[in-house]
Structures are given as structure tokens and as C-alpha cells.
Amino acid sequence: MATTIVKPPNSTYTFSSQPKAVQQRKKYREPTIGLQDEMGNFGNIMYDRRIIRGNTYALHTLPAHAQPDPIELQRQQEAKRRALARRKAREQLRTRTPEPVHGRKHIDVQTELYLEELSDRIEEADVEIQTDAFLDRPPSPLFIPQKTGKDITTQIEAGDLFDFDLEVKPIVETLTGKTLEQALIEVAEEEELAEIREQQREYEEMRNAEMIELQRLEEQERRLRAEKERRMKQAKDALQLEQEIQQKIAARAFAKSYLQDLVPSVFNNLRENGYFYDPVEHEIEISFMPWLMDRTMKQVNQLVMGRTLLDSIIRDVVSRRTDDYEKLEDILRQTILSGVDMGTSTGDQQQPIIEDEQQQNESDINANAAINEEAEEREDEQIPEEEAEH
């Protein structure tokens, strides 16, 4: 802590402070993170935001109760974000030393021609010395410089040098004219700036209105496009669903028509191949039907044989009868040709002979028919007896 000793006005100024240890400091400064901090302390007032530059007459100041423009605040925030993004991009693009591998670390290496030892700790050395005790120094006398030269005086009367009112008038007129001219120029500049700001405001309003209309149209177009895509997707989904349903219906109908006769045909094939059979029916087909067919064939053969014999008998009888009729016809023809006178008596004799022959033929035919009926009845009676025996 510094201590100032107050001396009398005539004494000299002295300063003394209590001894203290020197703070340890690094030999090199810490590297800066960025090229320039946004709110850093600058020694040059040209970069200080608190210093107003330019014309102060047209400075626009907001009253205490007024609210800041949100558009301006948004623009400032956007500018800060862009500056921060650029700074981060520069930091990322800057070439850096790659990270050390596991188990190692980076160290500072000197690349100068003449090497020197690097250390964060400043070399210190303690030196002690004993001095004599100070004696009280008497107060220093007031310094009065020695007078040199000669004293000379000059008397200046009124009007000898210049008339202030007369001499200052053109200067004041010049200053006033220049001030008024500068003021008029500044007023004209302010009016021009006001008109420019008004035009900018009108342009901003028109541009904002156009942007709002453009956004509205874009939003409408987006909604229409989204609605169109949604409708197209719904129609496509409905068409796909309908196609799938039709395919399912067709597949079901085909499967139903295909499987409708499949089971019966399979069972019929299995039944025909002998996998499914009735024991009684199988026994009938294996044992009874062959025996029945054999007996039937034998009976049919007997019937055919009997009918053949009957036909041969009938044929023999008919042939004999035909021969008799022919002989009788020859006899009649000879009798007719032999004499006419004997016609009446001969005719009376021949008629009984013909009637007798006809009756004999009918009796033979009836006898053959009775023989055939009896044979058939015997065969019909023999078949049930054989079946019962079997």
C-alpha cells in the first residue's frame, strides 16, 4: 500500500511504498482465442462504440419511454449471428496442430537459430544489504533563481496597436457567414436525408407488402401442391387397394374352382386304385362275382347250345317239310296234268291230305316250344339253387 507523506508547502515532494514480493508471471502471453473480441477494450477511440462520429445535428435519439424497433433489433441480432458464424468458420478453417495420440502431449519447440531455455518461472535471487540509519534531513529552502538581464518597460497608449471592434468585425462576419452557410448545408442535408429515409420507408413498406403477398402466394401454392399430392396419393392407394381386392377375389375364385373337384377326384382316384373299398363289396368283387360270371357263362353257353340245337332241329324239320311240300307239289302237278276228268274226285282227296300235313307241322312247332320253355324253367331253377349253395 502506497503511503504519501505530506510535507510543508516549502518542502519538496517525496513518495515511498511498503516493500512487496514480485508476482510470478508467465514469460509469454496467452494466445487469443479470436482475432478480435466483439466487446474487447480498445486503446484507439476510433474503434470505441461510445464515440459518436459524423454530424451530431442529425443524431436520432429515442426518448426514454420509447421502445426500440423490433426489426432493427432482429437485424442486429442477425448481424451478430452472422459475425459469430464467420468467426467460427475462420476458426475451423485455420490450420491447427493435430491432437496428440494417447499417452503423449504437445510441448513448445523453439525454431530460432539461437536457442534459449524456456521457463514459466522467472529466476529470482535474494540479496541482502545493511545500510546506515538515515538522519533527519532539514527542510530545503525555497529556490529562487538568480535574476539576470535588465528591466525595461514600454508604454502603449490607446490606439497604438489596433482597434479591436474594427478589426474583429470582418472576422466575426466571416465566421458568422461560414457558420450560417454550414448550417444551411446541414439543414439541406438533413432534409435530403429525411426524404431519402421517407423513400426508403415507402420502399420498405412496398417491399414488405410484396414479400407478404409473395409468401401468401407461395403458401397457397404449397397448400395446393400438398392437397394435390394428398389426393393423388389417396387415389393411388384406392386404386392399388381395388386392384389387390380384385386379385384376391380372382385368386379366391380360381382356388375355389380348382379345389372344388380336387377332393372328390382325389378320393375317386384313391378309390379306383383300391385304397378305399367296402369289405363286402371287395369280397363280392373278388370271390362272388368271378364265380357268378363263371356260372352265368356256363348257363348262357348251355342256353346257347340248347337254342342252337333247337334251331338245328327246327331247321331239319323245316327242310324235311319243305321237301315234303315239294314232293307234294310235284305229285299235285302230275295229278293235275294226268287227267281232267278225275279232277273233282282227286281234288276232294288231296284237300284232307294237305290239312293233315298242316296239323302235323303245328303240333311239331308246339312240341319244340314246350321243350324250350321247360329247358328255360329248369335253368332258372338251377341258378338260385347254385347261388344258395355258394
Q: Over the chain (390 residues), what is each successive 10-residue block's mean pLDDT?
A: 49 70 66 48 69 67 60 89 90 78 79 72 80 75 80 76 81 92 93 93 92 93 93 93 92 85 80 75 82 88 87 86 85 78 49 57 65 66 51
Identify the pLDDT of residue 94: 76
Q: Domain span at residue 298? A: 279-339+363-389
Whether 39 and 84 have beta carbons less than 8 Å apart is answered as no
Can you give the length of the chain in residues? 390
Considering only CA atoms, which of 325, 323, 334 is closest in space to residue 358?
325
Identify the pLDDT of residue 248: 92
Identify the pLDDT of residue 275: 74
Residue 380 lies in a domain: yes
Residue 219 lies in a domain: no
DSSP letter for each residue of 6-33? ---TTSPP--EE---PPPP--SSPPPPS
Identify the pLDDT of residue 208: 92
DSSP letter for each residue of 243-301? HHHHHHHHHHHHHHHHHHTHHHHHHHHHHHTTSS--HHHHHIIIIIHHHHHHHHHHHHH
Q: Kindly state the cell numbers that stand for 7.
A: 510535507
Return the residue matching grid coordinates 513448445: 108
List own/partner pairs for 242-248 with CB under 8 A and 24 or more apart.
Answer: none
Separation of alpha carbons 85 and 82, rounded Å: 5
Whether 346 and 335 have beta carbons less than 8 Å apart is answered as yes
Total domain count, the chain: 1
Residue 329 lies in a domain: yes
**What pTM does this model have?**
0.23
Q: Kindly state the cell numbers that stand for 179.
A: 457558420
Identify the pLDDT of residue 36: 47
Residue 93 lies in a domain: no
Separation of alpha carbons 225 and 255, rounded Å: 44
One-letter amino acid of 8: P
Identify the pLDDT of residue 217: 93
Cα dihedral 296, 297, 299, 300 in deg (nearest 10) = 110
Residue 319 lies in a domain: yes
Cα dihedral 57, 59, 63, 68 in deg (nearest 10) = 170
Considering only CA atoms, which of 35, 51, 41, 43 is closest in space to residue 83?
35
Identify the pLDDT of residue 3: 47
Burial class of 340 by CB neighbour count within 10 A (0 to 12, 13 to 18, 19+):
exposed
Residue 373 lies in a domain: yes
Residue 273 lies in a domain: no
DSSP E strand stretches across 287-365: none
Identify the pLDDT of residue 118: 67
Identify the pLDDT of residue 223: 93
Residue 328 lies in a domain: yes
Identify the pLDDT of residue 279: 77
Identify the pLDDT of residue 153: 80
Identify the pLDDT of residue 136: 76
Identify the pLDDT of residue 367: 66
Considering only CA atoms, which of 382, 365, 384 is closest in space to residue 318?
365
Identify the pLDDT of residue 53: 73
Considering only CA atoms, which of 137, 161, 110 is closest in space to residue 5?
137
Identify the pLDDT of residue 385: 52
Q: Kindly state the cell numbers that stand for 224.
A: 395446393
